[in-house]
Amino acid sequence: MKRSLILIRHTKSNWTDFSLPDFDRPIKKDRIDDAKNMAAQLKSLGVEPDLIICSPAKRTRQTAEYFCDKLKYEEKDIQFDKRIYESTAEDVLQVVRETDSKVKTLVVIGHNPSLTNLANMFAENSIEEIPTTGVVWLEFSIKDWELYKLTPCNLKAFLTPKTI
């Protein structure tokens, strides 16, 4: 059975207000189109998420809103998981492993370096860095989400705002 894991790094955050804690930094207004365009690209590729799991940080929540809009996913159905914020690849992998086997297409919206490191656990060709609003689409032939470092996968797409 084919399962898709789509990793999305949040849209570029705004650093103009240094009094804000990292967790509360919003996305840059001039980069909103990156989120809209990347979400539209995923929609054109036929992505229909069964579940979106997101870091609860402000910039990831805002990024998720744009993807939900384009992918016709209900924002109220997003699962926020604090383990994705300030995480390691293993932390995110644990969140993925806990996903119900009914989910065929899982989207995780989070942060670097954990998303890049997670993608590199499985992708045949190493990805130097997932840029902000970058997307990695991994496809597995598995019966559930019990992924391990040697689980074979196909890198369906690596999309960045500059490449679409």
How much is the pLDDT for 156?
95
How much is the pLDDT for 139?
97
Residue ranges of E strands in 119-164: 135-141, 154-159
What is the pLDDT averaged over residues 134-143? Answer: 97
Look at residue 150 and tell me whether its pLDDT is greater than 90: no
Domain residue limits at 38:
2-159
Number of domains in the chain: 1
Look at residue 136 and tell me whether its pLDDT is greater than 90: yes
pTM of the model: 0.97
Dig out the tokens for 40 from the structure.
């539209």
How much is the pLDDT for 32?
97
For the four alpha carbons of 123, 159, 95 and 100, in that order, the dihedral sign comes to negative
| Residue pLDDT, tens place only, 60-108 | 999 999 999 999 999 999 999 999 999 999 999 999 999 999 999 999 9
Distances (CA, A) of 128 to 29, 56, 120, 154: 26, 25, 9, 17
d(CA 34, CA 73): 18
Looking up residue 142, the CATH number of its domain turns out to be 3.40.50.1240
Residue 141 in domain = yes
Look at residue 148 and tell me whether its pLDDT is greater than 90: no
How much is the pLDDT for 128?
95
Look at residue 149 and tell me whether its pLDDT is greater than 90: no
| Residue pLDDT, tens place only, 13-65 | 998 888 999 999 999 999 999 999 999 999 999 999 999 999 999 999 999 99
The answer to whether the CB of 2 falls within 8 A of the CB of 47 is no
d(CA 97, CA 82): 16
Residue 164 in domain = no
How much is the pLDDT for 164?
86
